[in-house]
Chains A and B, each alone.
Chain A
């Protein structure tokens, strides 16, 4: 696991108030929404803000988020390819 995975998990826990969770509780390939971590559409908007704030990636179409936010792995892939900071 590289540092970006851990860094991302930390900021997700922080941004989404997942108070009782620890980095080790989130698997890299676990679905973030639905039956996995159980995030919802409000969280998706928070994640869009997180991408822009921390990595300088602007998602113009919120629907894009569906694939990107599938898991920590998919987010890391997307960030590595598109980050501007």
Chain B
């Protein structure tokens, strides 16, 4: 079975990518947070860029950066995870349809509303005829994409896969998430988000892309050892899920050096994490990230970006750590995420 190396990475989020180096982070005065703007014109042709929504721009930008870093021109597969897809164009088309009462409608936003627009645009830009897939399973979207990627490389079907998670916000659709309590009424970001005892969280935009390869490079960040996706478990069950997952990889809990958790300050569901934080990870370095970059359906891809850099640099930036366990040698990192108690994902990274 071929190993899977991460040879190129790129992330866009509400924070600068150098948060890892400087530790400087921004706090926000809204519970809906946009991604940091990038110099999109530098990598995307203006005639292409003019129609692109945030998700497409971010996806294409990160893809190009990650591919360049890995020295890959054409990947053997392009696999995207996006929970909400292209909601900006969906919203635009739906609004004009409703306002015009099904009148005369321009087609561009409809064309770009399909969930596989990001994957399709990357293929178009790279002129890449390879396997192209898009997963849209709420917070399990990126894990689904990663599982597909691992199967392709493990079996030797493909050697190089471009995989990414991307989600954007849009005024009406994201606004609805305030109405049903997914987004909290308070405007808290930073470490305090994780301490609040109210429902809801901070929702954001992000894109994190990776070039996975069967071949190790000198600068390979990490290996993706395994991934697991489980739709529904009870609050006391993450422990068993994690232990079984580690066992199937012939690992013991003590071998995990750092765990990256999806705590998002939603008092209704953070219990999924607090149980294991006390029970099985009390001696493990614990990290969180949603207080800095917010939550969305593919944000666990950002956690993988974080985990890959932690392993590559053997260092945990202070802004992300939520306990005081120190760790000299970081070989194995586990990522656990869920949203609203569903779509539980585990990703296991290790030193290449």
Q: Which residues of A contact B (CB under 8 A)?
A: 15-20, 38, 42, 45-46, 49, 52-53
Contact = CB atoms under 8 A, between A and B. Distances in A.
Contacts, number: 25
A42 B46 contact: no
A19 B40 CA distance: 14
Contact of B108 (A18, A20, A42): A42
B104 A38 contact: no
B50 A38 contact: no
Secondary structure type dominating chain B contacts: loop
Contacts of A19: 46, 50
A80 B111 CA distance: 31
Contact of B106 (A18, A20, A45): A45
B98 interface: no
Given A45-B107, A49-B105, A53-B104, 5 more contacts: A15-B106, A18-B50, A20-B46, A42-B51, A46-B107
B47 interface: yes
7 contacts: A16-B50, A19-B46, A38-B47, A42-B111, A45-B108, A46-B107, A52-B104
A15 to B, nearest CB: 7
Interface in B51-82: 51
Interface residues of B, number: 10
Nearest to A40: B47
Q: Which 5 pairs of residues, A with B, have the shortest CB-CB distance?
A: A17-B50, A49-B106, A45-B107, A46-B106, A38-B47
B56 to A, nearest CB: 13
A42 B107 CA distance: 8
A53 B104 CA distance: 8
A40 to B, nearest CB: 8
A12 B111 CA distance: 19
Nearest to A42: B108
Interface in B101-155: 104-108, 111
B108 A46 contact: yes
Contacts of A42: 51, 107-108, 111
B131 to A, nearest CB: 25
Contacts of B47: 38
Contacts of A18: 50
